[in-house]
Amino acid sequence: MPSHEKGFAPRATRIPPVQPPGWYPDPSGQPQSFRFWDGQVWTPVTTRDPNTPWPTPAELGRPGLQPLGQGADRPAGPSLGVPPAPTGPAPQPPRSTTPLVIGGAVFVLIAVIIGVALWRTGGGQPSPAPSASAAPSVPSAAGTPSGPVRLRCDNGNGNATNLQAASYSSTGARYDAPSNFAFRYSKSYWEWADDFSAFGVYSGGQEAGIVLGGLSAGNGFTDTATAGEQVLSCMEGTLSSDKPTKAEGARTEPIEIGGMQGHRTTARMNSPSEARPLLVTITVVDSGQPGKLAQLITFVREGNPVAAQVEQAASTLRRG
């Protein structure tokens, strides 16, 4: 994990609109992930279910959701390419008579105009005005929104503390931080988190840190049993923007800590450019906040002598 001044997301190349808008297999290689193609560029919006309704123009156009690579702080990266062309029988050649050609062209032009109008207006219904942070859907029960919700790794509220402290709290949970954890990791690595802190140490490639924050049900984090591996998938995306990174050996187990029930996911994150893996632990608990879960992420490069400090700090997680 490099210094916090670097960006992380790959840039998408603008291409001719050869494919219609829709959900296509995620070109970044994330398993069981589909990314929305708006007809010209890949968008930041992903889902696990290709039958998920299309995102609204407001979701695609509001601040913070520009097409990939359009943000000012993001470096150039590999092109995500073009979605594969639909397969099927070759279309019959058009009749050669001039009247039919002209009539067909007029019909296609009208259809395109209508299609563009519907796309821009969300199917004829007024679109909500863009806003800096979208409100999550109202949950029908704690942590469970009504209807299908796609996973959003880029839609946290962006609130992160800049001040080092003896302890940090978020979303009804708290932990005690090591006094020497004074390096603040860039919030761009944790774009799915709400109201979070991200402090640790960084020296000579010896990364170590702790992140405490919230997970919104409106962004697809609805169950402690699955949220840990969802967070792991999001981390793969942000870390891979700097160098290819793959999580391996993920394992999730139930846990009770600080009077809270939840699950803990452990994994090794490997990169071809690193001799040793990054050891990651993601603890997700129900802290009693409606529509939200609390997450505590710890990461340490294998062999880093501060690993014991990280483990001790994580054990102090409690309500607060």
> CATH homologous superfamily of domain 145-319?
Mog1/PsbP, alpha/beta/alpha sandwich (3.40.1000.10)
74: its two tokens: 């993001």
pLDDT in tens, 164-174: 999 999 999 99
Tell me the C-alpha distance between 222 and 2, whole Å. 31
* pLDDT confidence bin for 58, thresholds 50/70/90: low
Res. 290: pLDDT tops 60: yes
Look at residue 243 in the predicted model and tell me its pLDDT: 82
199: its two tokens: 């402090």
Output phi, psi for 37, to 5 deg: -100, 120
Taking alpha carbons only, the member of 304, 164, 145 closest to residue 221 is: 145
CB 234 within 8 A of CB 153: yes
Taking alpha carbons only, the member of 241, 250, 292, 293 closest to residue 271 is: 241
Amino acid letter for position 17? P
Least confident of 17-31, 111-125, 255-269, 287-301: 111-125
Calculate mean pLDDT across residues 170-183: 97
CB 140 within 8 A of CB 271: no
Domain chopping of the chain, boundaries:
145-319
* pLDDT confidence bin for 1, thresholds 50/70/90: low
- β-bridge mates for residue 295, sequence order: 213, 284
| Interior/surface letters 173-211, b for 16+ CB within 10 angstroms, e for the rest | bbbbbbeebebbbbbbbbbbbbbbbbbbbbeeeebbbbb
Res. 129: pLDDT tops 50: no
Is 114 or 137 the better-scoring residue by pLDDT?
Answer: 114
Tell me the C-alpha distance between 214 and 284, whole Å. 9
Provide the whole-model pTM.
0.58
* pLDDT confidence bin for 217, thresholds 50/70/90: very high
Calculate mean pLDDT across residues 242-266: 95
Look at residue 10 in the predicted model and tell me its pLDDT: 35
